[in-house]
Chain A
Amino acid sequence: GAGVSQSPSNKVTEKGKDVELRCDPISGHTALYWYRQSLGQGLEFLIYFQGNSAPDKSGLPSDRFSAERTGGSVSTLTIQRTQQEDSAVYLCASSLVPVTDTQYFGPGTRLTVL
Chain B
Amino acid sequence: DQQVKQNSPSLSVQEGRISILNCDYTNSMFDYFLWYKKYPAEGPTFLISISSIKDKNEDGRFTVFLNKSAKHLSLHIVPSQPGDSAVYFCAASAWNAGNMLTFGGGTRLMVKP
Contact = CB atoms under 8 A, between A and B. Distances in A.
Q: Say whether A and B bind each other.
A: yes
Contacts of B103: 35, 42-45
B43 A48 contact: no
Nearest to B9: A40
Interface residues of B, number: 23
A93 B43 contact: yes
Nearest to A42: B105
Contacts of B46: 102-104
Interface string B77-97: 000000000000101010000
Interface string B29-62: 0001010100001111110010000000000000
B11 interface: no
B44 A43 contact: yes
A103 B46 CA distance: 7
Given A101-B32, A103-B46, A107-B43, A42 B104 contact: yes
A48 B44 CA distance: 17
Contacts of A42: 6, 89, 103-106
A102 B49 contact: yes
B75 to A, nearest CB: 15
Given A93-B43, A102-B34, A45 B102 contact: yes
B13 interface: no
A50 B42 CA distance: 24
Contacts of A108: 41-43
B44 A101 contact: no
A91 B98 contact: no
Q: Which of B34, B91, B98, B106 has the most CB of A within 10 A?
A: B98
A109 B104 CA distance: 20
A25 interface: no
B89 A48 contact: no
Interface of A: 4, 31, 33, 35, 41-45, 48, 50, 56, 59, 91, 93, 95, 97-98, 101-108
Given A95-B99, A103-B99, 4 more contacts: A42-B104, A91-B44, A101-B49, A101-B99
